[in-house]
Amino acid sequence: DGLVQRDLRRFGGGIESGFIYHHLKPLLKPLFWLPFLIYLTCPVSLHPSAVFVPPAIVFALIVAKTASRFKKYL
């Protein structure tokens, strides 16, 4: 869990940075609309899980990384 990693780093005296958070945040919006666009515009029949599961996994990884590196006081 990203928030647990952040708390462990904070209480362990680690350094927080907003750099990773601010660079990964713009990647979240395309992960919402791009799978729908691909699924609706593809001329061949695709199983929905082939289109929607990989972006969901990437979305979960990005959210975990941004939550673990988020600086509380910007």
One digit per residue, the tens of pLDDT, for the chain of length 74 reads 667 777 776 776 656 667 777 888 888 888 889 899 989 999 999 899 999 999 999 989 888 887 777 666 54
End-to-end CA distance of the chain: 22
Instruction: Give me the pLDDT at residue 65, please.
Output: 81
Alpha helices, H only, 1-74: 2-11, 19-24, 28-41, 48-69
